Amino acid sequence: MLTRSALIYLSRREGLKDFAARFSLFKKLTTRFIAGENIDEAVAAIREINARGCSASFDHLNESVGSAAEAEAEVREYLDVLAQIDQTGINSNVSIKLTQFGLGLDPELAYRNARRVVEDAARRRNFVRVDMEDSAVTQATIDLFKRLRAEFGLNEVGIVVQSYLYRTMDDARDLLKIPARIRLCKGAYNEPAEVAYPDKKDVDGNYVRVMQLLLSSGTYHGIATHDPKMIDATVDFAQREGIAKEAFEFQMLYGIRRDLQEQLARDGYGMRVYVPYGKHWYPYFMRRLAERPANIWFVLKNFLKG
């Protein structure tokens, strides 16, 4: 049986990525989690999401780019996405990864690239969420975010924290002082016990504590999870503390717990769906398989059906 860490390890194997990308049947199986290969397909998916009462966030799939030219192409893609949001009138913001903009090559390059996207989003009154990647870049991501936030508004750029990291409560307190809009998630990468809780119950316990801190802060945050226990804890805490439904939003991934997405939207909560699209779907897809081994059977079943 493939374990979570084995799947996350495989998500980083470049050779497999190329193999899988050429294998068109494998690609077809990704459609549950990935909205398409180009902007038009993602826009069509977001129209449907909007029609179900949910907002969205574009994610152009690519991470750890290998050259400044590739990072430049990512900036252009996001500028195009922001223009498309305005032209089509869909309800969506954008999510970016700093390694996609060259963080691994040169932090200054990543800063300049991210800045261009945030500047354009701000001009259009839209919002850029800086995703959080693995712990090797946590500090660099926070540092770069703070530089952006010093220049742009609370409602123009936000960040993500992961409850599996020991450092996250301190990071959240620090970021709230700025203040900053934060997305709280559990964390999707393979992390050693030196930096992250190895046990799910501790990740969940920290999630609830950080959620309570965020909701009490008076700033608008995103509670990103498909876990009914985390959702119930959030709803209960908000009700107990008299925090309005409009004071925060829930967030979920494209293709996961659509029933729960619709239920929360019907109950009057803000619900944002994260919509990944693009040709570089391999690592994202493998992380989704790692989160829930049953997904492997879903994929294999479809594979065998042809």
Ligand X SMILES: Cc1cc2nc3c(=O)[nH]c(=O)nc-3n(C[C@H](O)[C@H](O)[C@H](O)COP(=O)(O)OP(=O)(O)OC[C@H]3O[C@@H](n4cnc5c(N)ncnc54)[C@H](O)[C@@H]3O)c2cc1C
Active site residues: 131, 183
Question: Residue 188 interacts with ligand X (CB under 6 A)?
Answer: yes
Q: Which is nearer to ligand X, 65 or 211 (CB)?
A: 211
Helix or strand holding residue 261 (H, E): helix 258-266
Question: Residue 131 interacts with ligand X (CB under 6 A)?
Answer: yes
Q: Which is nearer to ligand X, 27 or 258 (CB)?
A: 258
Q: Which is nearer to ligand X, 10 or 68 (CB)?
A: 10
| Closest distance of CB 183 from ligand X, Å | 6
Residue 86 has φ and ψ, to the nearest 5°, of -65, -45
Opening angle at CA 233, ends 231 and 234, nearest 5: 65
Choose the stretch contacting ligand X; rule: CB under 6 A; options: 98-106, 240-248, 275-283, 289-297: 289-297
Binding mask 232-261 for ligand X (x = CB under 6 A): -------------------xxx--xx----
Cβ neighbours around 174 below 10 Å, total: 13
| Closest distance of CB 242 from ligand X, Å | 25
Enumerate residues 213-232 that contact ligand X by CB under 6 A: 224-227, 230
Report the candidate in 185, 170, 176 with the shortest Cα–Cα distance to residue 219.
176
Distance (Å, rounded) from C-alpha 61 to C-alpha 79?
15
| CA atoms in the 13 A half-sphere facing the CB of 10 | 16
| Closest distance of CB 212 from ligand X, Å | 16
Give how many residues touch ligand X by CB under 6 A.
Answer: 24
Structure tokens at 103: 């963080």
The Cα-based distances of 61 to 56, 88, 99, 218, 261 in angstroms read: 15, 21, 11, 32, 22
Angle between helices 282-291 and 14-22 (to 10 degrees): 100
Q: Contact at 8 Å (CB) between 283 and 289?
A: no
CB neighbour class for 202 (10 Å; exposed up to 12, middle 13-18, buried from 19): middle
Of residues 60, 115, 280, 288, which one binds ligand X by CB under 6 A? 288
Question: Residue 160 interacts with ligand X (CB under 6 A)?
Answer: yes
Of residues 58, 127, 145, 274, which one binds ligand X by CB under 6 A? 274
Question: Residue 162 interacts with ligand X (CB under 6 A)?
Answer: yes
Question: Residue 264 interacts with ligand X (CB under 6 A)?
Answer: no
Question: Residue 185 interacts with ligand X (CB under 6 A)?
Answer: yes
Residue 272 has φ and ψ, to the nearest 5°, of -110, 130
Structure tokens at 268: 């009057």
Enumerate residues 97-116 that contact ligand X by CB under 6 A: none
Q: Which residues bind ligand X (CB under 6 A)?
A: 131-132, 160, 162, 185-189, 224-227, 230, 251-253, 256-257, 274, 288, 291-292, 295
